[in-house]
């Protein structure tokens, strides 16, 4: 749906099952009554005056339960009355009607005075259908029985003065399955029959006088739909008028179909949709205060204000609009036996029972994580090139866990190994191999070589008088960072223990002579670079060969020596 459905703020929906009574309002579905035994609730209704008083029928007891104050009053029936079948409130919620499996007349109980009232007109058999007018301006009560099919309509406020009206419908001769009054038209009602027929009737307001004789009230048929639902599957289960319309109604049957009909213009089926299962009850959202007027045309109808609730045998409660589109649904778990839209917000009880404390969760030992072959599993000490000696300190033993599963590796010791002595994992073919670590270099490798004593010189230029056979190739392989270069200032001489003493003369050496000191470790230099330099110099000494100078090179060397003298 494009827009999320919001439950009406000023209404709630009562849902009745055999074990609990729930209320669906804007904050969700909440339980308001729970039966002590499975299947203990046979029928239930809530008062229409907004008091929240529930009439709950058990097999032998009618309980008046105040859902807001958690107070109960019960009325016990006599043992010969049988089990209760139906309960219904009057339009002013001051009288409670109910029927039993043995009594042939509908009984009434006055909530204002707290006693039973006189029984209504008896039927040939115990009544199976009971409906009261919804308008406060009317006091009509309809009751129907199966064998033989009998229908009585009576004004319970004047029943001691006027006899009931017995209706003999021409639409169907089968027993009545459901009945419902119009929400605003006090004398208009629906009858649904077992054979699937739906009919609408209207009762005349007052007795008429013709030629000096009193004519009693009569019921006039407004329209009918023959075999609207399949009789083989149980016919019609529930039907109600659509608020705001004179003759528009909706019906639900055991055949899994819901039909929206209009009794005017000869009877028209407006829409039909499926609910995938037999329906058990139906209720339509009552009209709001600004919608109490009757709509007669299509132009002034607004489907957004129509909400149809249907209860199913599988425990689902479905909400549809008048177009047959599902707007919301709830699962209550048990078969729904009653459903009713009522005005007023549901309020939680003042002394609501405290929820039971949930059992503590099972505490399981933490399972060690499984090692993978990624680089992040190795510590920095394992990937480093410097070997560190970790001192072994005494550690306390840790109690080993006694819970193991198929995914937890067995631990031979309860002491956690250090990172440098971590046991190696047995690798399988499907795991990625561990990356090769670089060879480590011990700190004992770097030693300061002994300083060679200075050689006696006869002159300042005696350092450059070396045999030609000891000269290296003109192009040095590595440049010494400490050797001076031509046309550059003489660098500051480091400590004698780290470098050889450079010549005292500021004259730069010959470019054909390589100044190669012994490789040592300095505080500011890299040990790895010095070691490589030492190895290369040693290799050069092993491969050193006499260098033959040509005439051009000799002349250049003599020029350099002559310039240094001046």
**What is the pLDDT at residue 528?**
41
Non-local CB neighbours of 327 within 8 Å, separated by 6+ positions:
1, 5, 307, 319, 320, 321
SS (H, E, C) 270-338: EEEEECCCCEEEEEECCCCHHHCCCECCCCCCCHHHCCEEEEECCCEEEEECCCCCEEEEEECCCCEEE
Contact yes or no for 201/188 (Cβ under 8 A): yes
pLDDT in tens, the chain (566 residues): 446 778 888 899 999 999 999 999 988 899 999 887 888 899 999 998 888 889 999 877 888 888 766 666 766 655 557 788 899 999 889 999 999 888 899 999 888 888 888 888 899 999 999 999 988 878 899 999 999 999 999 888 777 667 888 999 999 999 999 999 999 898 999 999 999 999 999 998 655 544 545 555 788 999 999 999 999 888 999 999 999 899 999 999 999 999 999 998 789 999 999 999 999 999 999 766 544 445 544 434 343 468 999 999 999 999 999 899 999 999 998 899 999 998 876 554 433 333 333 333 333 334 344 444 444 444 555 555 555 555 555 544 444 444 444 444 544 444 444 444 445 555 555 555 555 555 555 555 555 655 555 555 444 444 444 444 444 444 444 444 444 444 444 444 444 444 444 444 444 444 444 444 444 444 444 444 343 434 344 444 445 555 566 788 888 888 887 766 55
| CB atoms closer than 10 angstroms to residue 335 | 16
Among the listed residues 172, 188, 187, 175, the one whose alpha carbon sits nearest the alpha carbon of residue 228: 172
**What is the pLDDT at residue 206?**
59
- Report residue 262: phi and psi, to 5°: -135, 125
Burial class (CB in 10 A: 0-12, 13-18, 19+), 324: middle
- Report residue 320: phi and psi, to 5°: -125, 155
- Report residue 231: phi and psi, to 5°: -70, -30
Non-local CB neighbours of 386 within 8 Å, separated by 6+ positions:
440, 441, 443
**Quick check: helix, strand or coil at residue 73?**
strand
**Residue 499, Ramachandran bin (φ over 0: left; ψ between -120 and 50: alpha; else beta):** beta
Pairwise CA distance, residues 399 & 484, whole Å:
67
Give the E-state strand segments of 121-241 in sequence order: 129-132, 140-145, 150-155, 165-166, 176-181, 188-193, 198-203, 208-210, 213-215, 219-225, 236-241
| CB atoms closer than 10 angstroms to residue 172 | 22
Contact yes or no for 410/404 (Cβ under 8 A): yes
Degrees to nearest 5, angle at CA 519 with 518 and 524: 125
Give the E-state strand segments of 377-432 in sequence order: none
- 176-181/165-166 β-pairing: unpaired
Domains defined for the chain, CATH in brackets: 11-292+304-343 (2.130.10.10), 465-478+506-566 (no CATH)
- Report residue 511: phi and psi, to 5°: -65, -15
């Amino acid at each position: 749906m494009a827009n999320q459905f919001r439950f009406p703020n000023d209404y709630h929906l009562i849902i009745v099952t055999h074990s609990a009574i729930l209320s669906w309002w804007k904050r969700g579905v909440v339980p308001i009554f729970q039966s002590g035994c499975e299947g203990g609730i046979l029928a239930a209704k809530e008062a229409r005056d907004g008091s929240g008083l529930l009439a709950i029928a058990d097999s032998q007891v009618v309980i008046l339960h105040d859902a807001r104050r958690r107070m109960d009053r019960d009325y016990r029936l006599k043992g010969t009355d049988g089990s209760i079948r139906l309960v219904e409130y009057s339009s002013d919620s001051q009288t409670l009607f109910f029927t039993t499996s043995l009594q042939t007349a509908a009984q009434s109980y006055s909530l204002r005075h707290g006693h039973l009232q006189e029984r209504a007109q008896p039927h040939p058999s115990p009544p199976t259908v009971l409906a009261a007018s919804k308008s406060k301006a009317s006091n009509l009560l309809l009751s129907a029985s199966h064998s033989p099919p009998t229908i009585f309509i009576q004004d319970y406020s004047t029943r001691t003065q006027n006899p009931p009206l017995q209706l003999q419908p021409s639409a169907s001769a089968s027993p009545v399955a459901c009945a419902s009054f119009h929400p605003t038209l006090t004398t208009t009602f629906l009858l649904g029959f077992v054979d699937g027929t739906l009919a609408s009737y209207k009762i005349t307001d007052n007795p008429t006088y013709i030629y000096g004789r009193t004519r009693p009230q009569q019921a006039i048929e407004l329209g009918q739909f023959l075999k609207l639902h399949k009789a083989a599957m149980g016919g019609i289960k529930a039907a109600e008028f659509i608020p705001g319309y004179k003759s528009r109604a909706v019906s639900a049957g055991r055949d899994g179909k819901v039909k929206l009909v209009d009794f005017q213009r000869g009877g028209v089926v407006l829409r039909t949709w499926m609910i995938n299962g037999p329906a058990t009850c139906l209720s339509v959202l009552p009209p709001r205060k600004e919608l109490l007027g009757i709509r007669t045309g299509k132009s002034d109808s607004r489907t957004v204000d129509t909400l149809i609730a249907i209860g199913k045998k599988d425990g689902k409660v479905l909400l549809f609009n008048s177009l047959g589109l599902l707007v919301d649904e709830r699962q209550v778990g048990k078969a729904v036996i009653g459903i009713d839209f009522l005005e007023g917000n549901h309020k939680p009880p003042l002394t609501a029972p405290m929820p039971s404390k949930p059992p503590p969760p099972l505490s399981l030992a933490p399972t060690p994580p499984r090692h993978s072959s990624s680089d992040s599993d190795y510590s920095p000490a394992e990937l480093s090139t410097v070997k560190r000696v970790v001192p072994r300190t005494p550690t306390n033993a840790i109690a080993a866990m006694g819970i193991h599963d198929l995914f937890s590796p067995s631990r031979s010791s309860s002491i956690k190994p250090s990172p440098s002595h971590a046991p190696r994992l047995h690798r399988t073919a499907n795991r990625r191999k561990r990356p090769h670590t670089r060879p480590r270099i011990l700190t004992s490798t770097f030693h300061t070589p002994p300083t060679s004593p200075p050689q006696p010189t006869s002159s300042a230029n005696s350092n450059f008088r070396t045999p030609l056979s000891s000269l290296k190739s003109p192009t040095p392989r590595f440049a010494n960072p400490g050797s001076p270069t031509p046309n550059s200032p003489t660098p500051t001489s480091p400590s004698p223990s780290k470098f050889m003493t450079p010549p005292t003369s500021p004259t730069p050496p010959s470019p054909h002579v390589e100044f190669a000191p012994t490789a040592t470790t300095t505080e500011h230099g890299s040990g790895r670079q010095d070691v490589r330099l030492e190895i290369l110099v040693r290799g050069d000494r092993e491969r050193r060969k006499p260098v033959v100078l040509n005439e051009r090179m000799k002349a250049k060397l003599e020029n350099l020596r002559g310039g240094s003298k001046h």
